[in-house]
A and B are shown apart, each in its own frame.
Chain A
Amino acid sequence: MVDNSNLKLEEYRLDMESCPGCRGCIWVDHIFCTGIKYPYRCPSIYHETFDAYSCMGRNKIAIGILNGEVEFTPKMLDIIYKCNLCGACLAGCKRNLDLDTDMVLEALRIRAVEEGVAPIPAHKAVNDKIAESGNRYGADNSKRQEWLPSDAKVSDNPDMVYFAGCNSSFKNKQLAIATTGILDAAGVNYALFSGEKCCGNPLYESGDADAAKKQAEANIAAMKATGASTIVTSCAECFKVWKVDYPKLLDKATKDMDYKVVHITQVAIEKIMDGTIKLDHPVNMRVAYHDSCKLTRCSDDWTPWHGERGKYAVTIPQKTFRRGITGVIMEPREVLASIPGIEFKEMIRNGMNTMCCGAGGGAADAFPEYTQDIANHRLDEAEDVGIDALVSSCPYCKDTFEKAAKDGDRSIKCYDITQVLYEAITGKGGL
């Protein structure tokens, strides 16, 4: 049973009840709206259409659960879990109302697990693999770092630890190779840690906060053993988990953690700007950047709040609101803009207005058709922009787009930004 009040559904009753139904949670920010073709920021409502598949609808469902008016039926679980936890509602609602919509959605899942109706089977299968093997694929975790090139300049006394994550360790190994190549070119003092296990994102997003907390404690302990104080990730989900969810699970503020989290693009742009990283190999390509929701909207620092509400429900002490606008947005663009040969174009929905690739929130495991539909919608948008390749900063985005492009016989290429940057540095990115 979760004992952290910040993860309890009851904690967010006021947020649910304060929703007037403006649907700011589903639309692209109105100022950034570009017309009728791509009006939604929320993938769930785009796919399912009924209001239940929006944060506005889920708020009412959550009130119903708290009031004992509705139960966790299979359909209810479909509604709760066919959501990418992508922060679209967070950014939308915070423009006007400052309601913690993202936490309503997360707490709903935690409540479902507490009630014994979740994790849903597809998520349980992944969670079981993590419990058994330490990674989401059920692979032999002792082979987690087999991808590591023999010439990688790994330090025995690092300042920074590269947390590769399950996907790049076992599936898209070229991303991990590219990342260490970038770190080598950057001349930073880095290492990997032998005890690396899955970051726990699937556990947390399935609602199993207890298991996620244990995963957090294990990974943090392993990281501390290296003596480094900075974690670098190339995976948007790992980034968000280390920066936001670990402190959340441990009831601490991001700023009070004993480590700092950076994304590889943040390291890279600094070293590109100071001239350490040389981009000698032009990448002649028209590209657009897909903002991964986890890196963009979901990565505002976490600050726990334990207080009371005063007149007009003001928070005492004042809550630090997360609004989905301080994530890693500019650095990937600056990296791409600095690469010779790249012709950069913005997606129609970009930055805090991005739409998830469709995989987030465990949707790819549980609802592959849903994920595919969202990915295709996003690829349509990319093609409207007129590009050769769609670049993202998350291996799961890359996988999702790659599959949709292949299944749809599309000519568009899908890359991770580490691949593109590694190509520009070494000419060996294999693009």
Chain B
Amino acid sequence: MIPQEVYKTLELIVGQKNITQEKEILQAYKNKDRAFVNPESELLGTTPDIVIMPKNTEEVQAIVKTANAYKVAYTPCSTFWTPQAGARFEGCLHMDFKRMNTLELDAKNMNATVGSGINYAQLQAEAFKHGLYTVVSGGGSQVSVIPNHLSWGFSPLTYRAGLAPRRIMGVEWVLPDGEIVRMGSFASGKDGFWGEGIGPDMRGLLRGHIGWLGSLGIVTRMCVRLLPFHNVKLKPMQMHRHTFFVFPTDRQKWYNFTCPSTDVMVDFMYEIAQAEIGAAMTRVPIAWRFISRSGCKENFWETWLQDPVQKKKDVEELLINRVMLIGYASQKQLEYEEKVIMAIAEKLGCTLRRTRQMDGSWMQSGDSVTMWYLTGCFMSATGQLDSLDASVKAGAEFAQMKLKYTPPLMEDHGDKGWFQINDFGHSGYLEFILHTDAYDKDPELGLKTAEFYHFENPKLVARTGGLNFFNQVMTPLYHDSPQYGPNYGDFARKVKEAFDPDELSNPPGVLDTLDKVIDTIPPLKALKEKYEKM
């Protein structure tokens, strides 16, 4: 229980209206009973003692210094999308950054400085007004811009735009002890034009594995790079339950190509990249097509489970490379790029398919929430950030392993995952999305799922060199860290200890969450012992 003295001190910082310990309000911040099937929320999720809503960096600093003075642990939360953003320990001071909703856009220099409460939909909408854009990640437009830039920010649009952390121009960072560090352009100037600053530049430290998710202090302000877009307004529309933009087809178009084999698709992606054309590119898992066409969950399952033999054949043979071309500068640019892509397609024997010239997923939405409704929960088994060839290879391995765990995992007819190309071909990406049945409470299935999540999958992730998205912040380090080098776990812990010796910033440490509780859960403990002996 946080002492009243602390509450009174915090109240002086943010004002009476912006802090509460009323149990009815705290109940709404309970980090449990959320549709995340993972131990993070199920086992650790609890209710905070206090919720506080700072307005700016100075208030955050004062809160953090108070927390340090009284040794009170705190959890920062921008938009509450991940379980790690909620209370996971008793006596938690929960910081809700909703009020930190500032956005300053510098159109001339193509950047925007945002506060922690700004989400992608807001940033994108503001950017569009100036003929600019940002990349809304697959996490969705409901997620906060700052933490997402501190992880990876994948989207088919990263094909051209590159990964989100590389678009950080300046950072204002309240360290776990309350000191403020300004990096990048913020270190030397007031705007975010340059992106570099007087050293040391610690932006890489902030990202680390997949971002620290609040356990290494709080980034309260960030300048992010915006990219040039065409200046034609995207028209929002609604049809049935779906909302989407209609593309101005003289400036922006989707092209879906059927490829004769996965190898050809990979060659196709590389050649497009080498030609330096295109705005976005991705392989389309067949299930995505059914999701986008289904009117509801019932409709999806009715069609998805029909004719499994044909579905398996489709998954094997219907290899679709989806490419977005944009005439950023002119209609002629689009016409030119279309000629180039058609020439490459013809050379490789890829066939253009019909597709709707609209987008409800990537430009200003991001579909992680839509993916939720099929089974009540999904998690991504892995994120492979390596070459495109490695992504494809890993996808085949994951598909093979998944067969052994289907059920409890959702039937997907052997699909080999979502892979795409980044940075004009310099890297590839695989995300292997898996759905589990959030509604089936059979303990045996639960145990089988846990075995897959926490033991089999991490091993495969480690072997194929990916990021363990299931357990991104709670995987036992003995699974995850070896792949990053023999000392990675030690190094990460030392960083945490150096910056946050009292473990006040979103404890338990970002790297050790499950390690700290696994022995208290008999079935998981038994599994752990089994796998340690193997």
- A245-256 Cβ-contact flags toward B at 8 Å (1 or 0): 000000000000
In the assembled complex, how far is the CB of residue A77 from the closest CB belonging to chain B, in whole angstroms? 9
Give bound CA distance, A230 to B437, whole Å: 46
Which of A22, A64, A314, A318 is B81 in contact with, Cβ under 8 Å? A22
Tell me which of B97-105, B259-267, B271-279, B333-341 binds A.
B97-105
Q: Known: A50-B53, A52-B28, A60-B28. Contact between A21 and B80, CB under 8 A?
A: yes
**Nearest B-chain residue to A58, judged by Cβ:** B28
Asked whether, in the complex, the Cβ of B298 is within 8 Å of the Cβ of A30, the reply is no
In the assembled complex, how far is the CB of residue B132 from the closest CB belonging to chain A, in whole angstroms? 13
B contacts with A: majority SS:
loop
In the assembled complex, how far is the CB of residue B70 from the closest CB belonging to chain A, in whole angstroms? 23
**Nearest A-chain residue to B25, judged by Cβ:** A52
**Nearest B-chain residue to A314, judged by Cβ:** B298
Asked whether, in the complex, the Cβ of B27 is within 8 Å of the Cβ of A64, the reply is yes
Which of A29, A49, A318 is B99 in contact with, Cβ under 8 Å? A49
Whether B188 is near chain A, meaning CB under 8 Å from some CB there, is: no
Whether B142 is near chain A, meaning CB under 8 Å from some CB there, is: yes
Whether A309 is near chain B, meaning CB under 8 Å from some CB there, is: yes
Which of A18, A60, A95 is B241 in contact with, Cβ under 8 Å? A95
State how many residues of chain B have any CB contact under 8 Å with chain A.
66
In the assembled complex, how far is the CB of residue B64 from the closest CB belonging to chain A, in whole angstroms? 21
- A42-56 Cβ-contact flags toward B at 8 Å (1 or 0): 000000011110101
Whether A321 is near chain B, meaning CB under 8 Å from some CB there, is: yes
Give bound CA distance, A64 to B33, whole Å: 9
Tell me which of B119-127, B160-168, B493-501, B518-526 binds A.
B119-127
Asked whether, in the complex, the Cβ of B245 is within 8 Å of the Cβ of A31, the reply is yes
Whether A73 is near chain B, meaning CB under 8 Å from some CB there, is: yes
In the assembled complex, how far is the CB of residue A40 from the closest CB belonging to chain B, in whole angstroms? 10
**Nearest A-chain residue to B140, judged by Cβ:** A22
Asked whether, in the complex, the Cβ of A22 is within 8 Å of the Cβ of B142, the reply is yes
Asked whether, in the complex, the Cβ of A35 is within 8 Å of the Cβ of B126, the reply is yes
Would you list which residues of chain A between 54 and 100 have a CB under 8 Å from chain B? 54, 56-58, 60-61, 63-64, 69-70, 73, 75-76, 79, 94-98
- B350-375 Cβ-contact flags toward A at 8 Å (1 or 0): 00000000001000111011101111
Asked whether, in the complex, the Cβ of A20 is within 8 Å of the Cβ of B243, the reply is no
Which of A97, A323, A352 is B369 in contact with, Cβ under 8 Å? A97
Q: Known: A60-B30, A64-B27, A96-B369. Contact between A33 and B122, CB under 8 A?
A: yes
Whether B296 is near chain A, meaning CB under 8 Å from some CB there, is: yes
**A16 neighbours in B (Cβ, 8 Å):** 33
In the assembled complex, how far is the CB of residue A234 from the closest CB belonging to chain B, in whole angstroms? 26
**Nearest A-chain residue to B359, judged by Cβ:** A31
Whether A17 is near chain B, meaning CB under 8 Å from some CB there, is: yes
**B98 neighbours in A (Cβ, 8 Å):** 49
**B369 neighbours in A (Cβ, 8 Å):** 20, 22, 24, 96-97
In the assembled complex, how far is the CB of residue A191 from the closest CB belonging to chain B, in whole angstroms? 37
Asked whether, in the complex, the Cβ of B243 is within 8 Å of the Cβ of A31, the reply is yes
Asked whether, in the complex, the Cβ of B53 is within 8 Å of the Cβ of A96, the reply is no
**B438 neighbours in A (Cβ, 8 Å):** 18, 313
**B243 neighbours in A (Cβ, 8 Å):** 29-32, 95
State how many residues of chain A have any CB contact under 8 Å with chain B.
56
Q: Known: A30-B121, A323-B241. Contact between A60 and B53, CB under 8 A?
A: no
Whether A148 is near chain B, meaning CB under 8 Å from some CB there, is: no
Whether B405 is near chain A, meaning CB under 8 Å from some CB there, is: no
**A97 neighbours in B (Cβ, 8 Å):** 369, 372-373
Whether A143 is near chain B, meaning CB under 8 Å from some CB there, is: no
Give bound CA distance, A220 to B140, whole Å: 46
Whether A14 is near chain B, meaning CB under 8 Å from some CB there, is: yes
Asked whether, in the complex, the Cβ of A56 is within 8 Å of the Cβ of B141, the reply is no
A and B contact pairs by CB, cutoff 8 A, 23 listed: A17-B33, A17-B35, A18-B35, A20-B35, A20-B372, A29-B236, A29-B243, A31-B245, A31-B364, A32-B243, A33-B364, A35-B103, A36-B101, A49-B18, A50-B25, A50-B96, A51-B80, A51-B96, A56-B28, A64-B27, A312-B376, A313-B376, A325-B241
Report B's interface with A, CB cutoff 8 A: 18, 20, 22-25, 27-30, 33-36, 51, 53, 79-81, 96, 98-99, 101, 103, 118-122, 124-126, 129, 140-142, 236, 238, 240-245, 296-298, 301, 360, 364-366, 368-370, 372-377, 410, 437-440
Having A36-B122, A314-B301, one finds 14 other A-B pairs with CB under 8 Å, namely: A20-B377, A21-B34, A21-B80, A23-B142, A29-B236, A29-B243, A31-B364, A33-B124, A35-B126, A49-B99, A51-B51, A57-B25, A60-B28, A96-B373
